[in-house]
Structure 1
Amino acid sequence: MSLSPKTPFQNLPSPPVAEKKPVTDTRHGITRTDDYAWMRAENWQAMFKDPSLLDPAIRTHLETENAYMEAGMGDTAELQKVLFAEMRGRIKEDDSSVPMKDGPYAYGTLYVTGGEQPHFFRTPRDGGEKHVLLNGDKEAEGKDYFRLSGIDNSTDHGFGIWGYDDKGSEYFTLRIRDLATGEDLSDVIENTGGGGVWAPDGKSFFYTLQDENHRPSKVFHHILGTSQTGDRLVYEEKDPGFFMGVGGSLLDDFIYIDIHDHETSEYRLISTKDLTAEPKLVAVREEGVEYSMTEGGDVFYILTNDGDAKDFKIMEAPVEAPGKENWKEIVPHEPGRLIISHMAFARHLVWLERREGLPRIVVRDRATGDEHAIAFAEEAYSLGLSGAAEYDTNVIRFSYSSMTTPSQLFDYDMVTRERVLLKTQEVPSGHNPEDYVTRRVMAPAPDGELVPVSLLYRKDTPLDGSAPCLLYGYGAYGITIPASFNTNNLSLADRGFVYAIAHIRGGKEKGFAWYENGKMEHKQNTFKDFIAAADYLNQQKFTSYVNIIAEGGSAGGMLMGAIANIAPEKFAGIIAAVPFVDVLNTMLDDTLPLTPPEWPEWGNPIESEEEYHWIASYSPYDNIGAKPYPPILAISGLIDPRVTYWEPTKWIAKLREVAPEAGPYFLKTNMAAGHGGKSGRFQRLEEIAFEYSFAIKVAGKMAAAV
């Protein structure tokens, strides 16, 4: 193996060589040796709360990797500044959202010029002076990392629950703010999931507590003015394989306890007429059956895949007896029509659905049953349903954008069908949609399935195979990657790149079956689909193999590790952000935050030998070979509870050991951040500029890019 002549990473210093400390593990009669298991900090739970506790040997290795990365990327410093300035120039710095009406007020967020954090405000309902309730920039002063989870006002609008994470570990602290005075009460609730749900009287709220393994396993009831230690335990989920959340209805009649993994769900309800009552079970969890609820006065509307409704249907049940035996179908299942979410209002039922990969909003008159849809005509676009903060309304809010069209926010009257444009995303440095093309093409997979690929490029980009391409993919958990407007991507398109999103199996772009056929024993389809997208773009001369830089993060980072092992010759470079690459070891470690809840997605290799083999067949760390890997950039966060820092660290060390003549391989560890990277809006742009500078450098476009 040798470096490609196009590879610009020449004259690098010697890369870090990680110490090898073999650890063996035997499962199902199979023994594996992991030379880099020592990189997993034994005290990771404590370290997430206090990063100074990290083993000095591990810290030294991460710092050495960061230094090597700086050496390899040092010549992009000026380009990063240029990219950052461009991206920042496309953001309206003193931007403000359109406030959402709620009782006597309307609530929104704003940013100030130069500010990193959001400010939360309210105005009188029909307009007037903004009153800032929470100044994120002020709260973040003096902190390396700071992330707000938002602020939720009580029903009487007297108080607000607000939460923050000041480490990146996603343990949120809750405070209570007097919205009239701006002062916080003495109440401090630590180690939460990030929010709370008010009781209607505004004197207490419900929240989830994260346990020592970073799982939301308990719901507590907190009364204002008391200590967290005295909070009443409302419900405890004993199964570590389930996540848990707490929410409330628009009518303030119920507190919802939502218990779920990636394929099974269960709801328990607390009537706000009796906050001390035991939560009432709606329908007992059944493996593979999902349901979610919204209240419609005297009935609940239940979105579920029960029976053979893979693409979901909507049921109705009386509020007084919402058990499954009383569910009545009102919106039937239609194969290929995936119902994503639903909301109920006094006179209307609303849902967001997707057909043939494109979203639309459907409105039904509850009295007459008449339906109509809200849709758009572009080849590829994104549609988001914001709903409303009030139940007794005819007006809902939604957003629309495409890869060339800036985001537009609308209020929509469900009776008159009048659509009012409230706001169009402003691009201060200028943007002409006519200069760009957005398309959706279909790439044939090896088994005959057609994989949607969304494209963005300038009209003057030559489609002769010479254009560089950033090909993005995710493909897990049923998450659909929208073909939405992103000003950052224009920095690539303006430099001659084709920006592409491969809507691969593992998401729900083409219905629930698209998800099912990209998980568990079918996981290889995700990788084959992504490679098929690269093949199609190469064949149709949108780009060529020597010009494709692949990018993915988290589970999409696992995708990057897999396609690097399967078809390294088809990619000029790979960007893997917080990559889930040590899949087998992680799924064998049931103490890690996400492992038990993730078994329905990947398989349980502890209990099942068959599922062990599924994962072992593609786990990137376990399938590294002496192959012609392209340059790889891995990015991680030291206190990331979702994809722990040691996964990419081990991956890079092993790549360097097994395929030393390929690459090169770079690891950038954010020493004061977690899964989402840096927390400020401009700090995040610095990270994107860094990633894009890697892509531009790999593409050999450095000279023309600055």
Structure 2
Amino acid sequence: MKQVLRTKRISAPLTTVVKGYEYYTKTSRHGMEILLDSAYLPDNCNVKKVLLSTGHQIFSFLTLEEGEELGSLHFRDLNRSEPFEEVLEDVFNFVWGNDNKTVYYTKSTDVLRPHQVWAHRIGTSQEEDILVFQEDDDSIFVDVGSTKDQRFVTINGNSLSSSEVRVLDAGHDFSTGVLPQLTVVAPREDGVEYYVDHHDDHYYILTNANPKKNFRVMRANRNDPNRESWVELMEAKDGEKIEDVDIFKNFMVIYAKRDALPVVTCYHFETGMAHEVPLPEQFCTIGAGVNLDYETDSFQFTLNSPYAHEATYEYDMASRVMTALRVHPIHRLDRSKYTCTRINVDSEDGKAKIPVTLLHRKNLQLNGRNPTLMRAYGAYGVPTDVDFRVEHFPLLERGWIIALAHVRGGSELGTMWYHQGKLEHKRNTFTDFINVAEHLVEAGYTNPRRLTASGVSAGGLLM
């Protein structure tokens, strides 16, 4: 299988531009990715997270000892070769404020529940750090983040079924001795999740606050962010799920799934107009790039498809021009011989059409004699993605069909698709899988003696 993915070990690194500075990782001839000089790392440590201060002067990195959840936060002045002497201990996560000298980080309880947010000023000891927020409810996990425009720090309190977001000025001056004002965007409601970013004078909110529990993109005035004032910008239709948003100065990028396939939409703030990005492939999985530069009109994303492995593209939202930055050719694969097709199978209860993605040779004959591998998961809202799997190639080369059954219990067709395969509706996951298998036989794709199935983890219950 290594022969299938054989690519050049050394190639020009892809760069990320942030406020005029270029950053990249580099792979050596020995295949090791050098993140930091190992002389600066304690023994048995891994790097969990790296961040630059907003002024691009201080490089910070969080290290974890093997088997630990809490780490040590180190700092390095980019104008000096050695790290600062100050190190913050027992850190779970962290972000920078926008004053180039304040770091916000979370600490955990004895049972590793992040519950506090602290502020640290570079050049002071950890004993002088200031407690900004504490959550005493044992069901809520606290995380810290920042808005894309770097104007606000966000404190996110998440439970299994709800969330609550507080924001504070990322430029707050702690030397005044005054604690920052924490603004609750919307009070917690059971069953309601929401996530916040900021642009100009508005919060942009991704939330499932609606009867169908489908995520929507909303806008709220920063000075009056209560839920009653939210304005809907984009709603997930039936068969869709909005998964994430990314904010830029002029555009907002919305990542979604429609009928188990990715959809990327660009929303122009000035005009209120939106357009869908023409993706290089229809049957694929999309991953957002780092995209740290708020000022740019371009964003990067990675694409995986059954016949393409981690291709990287850049899309200019203003000119609507797509550029392939890196495409890894797959050794031994003649793409002209293979294709992807989609069929829909009636469910047992008659309430759904189950999408099935088929990978196969173009000269496929429906003679009932094709060896077939069915794959499915159908749990926890986790989709069965149409992506690259190296283990499929020995089968495809031998004339097999790979059938990806997007059964209920995943989220390929939206939040309701997940709920229709959960708890008292869990039976639907199994009957969907059985109906797909029976259809593949009845439609002449294969026969019972040549039909196999594979499920991993929760998907193993289908077996």
Category of TM-score, reference length = shorter chain: 0.7 to 0.9
Contact 2:369 2:450 in 1 (8 A): no
In structure 2, which of residues 228, 231, 235 is the aligned counterpart of residue 328 of structure 1?
A: 231
**1:217-296, aligned counterparts within 5 Å?**
217-228=115-126, 230-274=128-172, 276-296=179-199
Distance 1:544 1:219, change over 3 A: farther
| Residue 109 in structure 1 maps to residue 9 in structure 2 | no
Matched residues in 1 for 2:63 and 2:22: separation?
Answer: 23
Matched residues in 1 for 2:346 and 2:230: separation?
Answer: 40
**1:501-512, aligned counterparts within 5 Å?**
501-512=404-415
**Residue of structure 2 in register with 1:551 after alignment:** 455
SS of corresponding position for 2:25 = strand
1:253-278 Cα offsets, whole Å, 9 max, x none, are 10111222343221111112326314
**Residue of structure 2 in register with 1:600 after alignment:** none
Distance 1:466 1:296, change over 3 A: same
SS of corresponding position for 1:334 = coil
**1:654-693, aligned counterparts within 5 Å?**
none
Matched residues in 1 for 2:356 and 2:31: separation?
Answer: 36
Tell me the amino acid that sits aligned with residue 438 of structure 1. C
Matched residues in 1 for 2:39 and 2:343: separation?
Answer: 47
In structure 2, which of residues 367, 371, 389 is the aligned counterpart of residue 467 of structure 1?
A: 371
Matched residues in 1 for 2:426 and 2:398: separation?
Answer: 34
Contact 1:468 1:548 in 2 (8 A): yes
Tell me the amino acid that sits aligned with residue 558 of structure 1. A
Matched residues in 2 for 1:437 and 1:108: separation?
Answer: 35
Cα displacement (A) at 1:333: 5.4
Contact 1:96 1:111 in 2 (8 A): no
**Residue of structure 2 in register with 1:148 after alignment:** 47
Cα displacement (A) at 1:107: 1.8
Tell me the amino acid that sits aligned with residue 454 of structure 2. A
Tell me the amino acid that sits aligned with residue 270 of structure 2. A
Tell me the amino acid that sits aligned with residue 277 of structure 2. I
**Residue of structure 2 in register with 1:17 after alignment:** none
Matched residues in 2 for 1:322 and 1:255: separation?
Answer: 16
SS of corresponding position for 1:392 = coil
Contact 2:371 2:450 in 1 (8 A): no
Give the number of the structure whose residues are more often helix, by fraction.
1
**Residue of structure 2 in register with 1:447 after alignment:** 349
Tell me the amino acid that sits aligned with residue 422 of structure 1. L
Matched residues in 1 for 2:69 and 2:364: separation?
Answer: 42
Give the number of the structure whose residues are more often strand, by fraction.
2
Matched residues in 2 for 1:503 and 1:267: separation?
Answer: 33
Unaligned residue ranges in structure 1 (runs of 5+): 1-82, 121-133, 565-706
**Residue of structure 2 in register with 1:403 after alignment:** 306
| Residue 311 in structure 1 maps to residue 182 in structure 2 | no
Matched residues in 1 for 2:241 and 2:353: separation?
Answer: 18
**Residue of structure 2 in register with 1:53 after alignment:** none
Matched residues in 2 for 1:191 and 1:543: separation?
Answer: 58
Matched residues in 1 for 2:296 and 2:229: separation?
Answer: 28
Matched residues in 1 for 2:135 and 2:458: separation?
Answer: 29
In structure 2, which of residues 56, 61, 66 is the aligned counterpart of residue 167 of structure 1?
A: 66
Length-normalised TM-score, structure 1:
0.58
Number of positions where the alignment pairs a residue of Structure 1 with one of Structure 2:
455
- Deviating more after overlay: 533-542 vs 325-334: 533-542
In structure 2, which of residues 95, 108, 111 is the aligned counterpart of residue 213 of structure 1?
A: 111
Tell me the amino acid that sits aligned with residue 6 of structure 2. R
Percent of matched pairs sharing the same residue: 29
Contact 1:92 1:426 in 2 (8 A): no
Cα displacement (A) at 1:286: 0.6
Distance 1:139 1:368, change over 3 A: same
Matched residues in 1 for 2:43 and 2:264: separation?
Answer: 44
Unaligned residue ranges in structure 2 (runs of 5+): none
Distance 1:459 1:290, change over 3 A: same
Matched residues in 2 for 1:110 and 1:376: separation?
Answer: 28
Task: For CA contacts below 8 A with separation 6 or more, give which structure has more relative contact order.
Answer: 1
Matched residues in 2 for 1:458 and 1:280: separation?
Answer: 57
| Residue 98 in structure 1 maps to residue 1 in structure 2 | no
Matched residues in 2 for 1:272 and 1:307: separation?
Answer: 31
Distance 1:364 1:558, change over 3 A: closer
Distance 1:223 1:496, change over 3 A: farther
Contact 1:467 1:498 in 2 (8 A): yes
Cα displacement (A) at 1:251: 1.8
Contact 1:206 1:219 in 2 (8 A): yes
**Residue of structure 2 in register with 1:433 after alignment:** 335
Contact 1:90 1:430 in 2 (8 A): no
Cα displacement (A) at 1:491: 4.7
| Residue 419 in structure 1 maps to residue 334 in structure 2 | no
Tell me the amino acid that sits aligned with residue 559 of structure 1. G
Cα displacement (A) at 1:526: 3.1
Tell me the amino acid that sits aligned with residue 450 of structure 1. K
Tell me the amino acid that sits aligned with residue 447 of structure 1. D
Cα displacement (A) at 1:532: 4.0
Matched residues in 2 for 1:542 and 1:164: separation?
Answer: 52
Contact 2:98 2:171 in 1 (8 A): no
Matched residues in 1 for 2:357 and 2:70: separation?
Answer: 36
Matched residues in 2 for 1:140 and 1:113: separation?
Answer: 22
Length-normalised TM-score, structure 2:
0.85
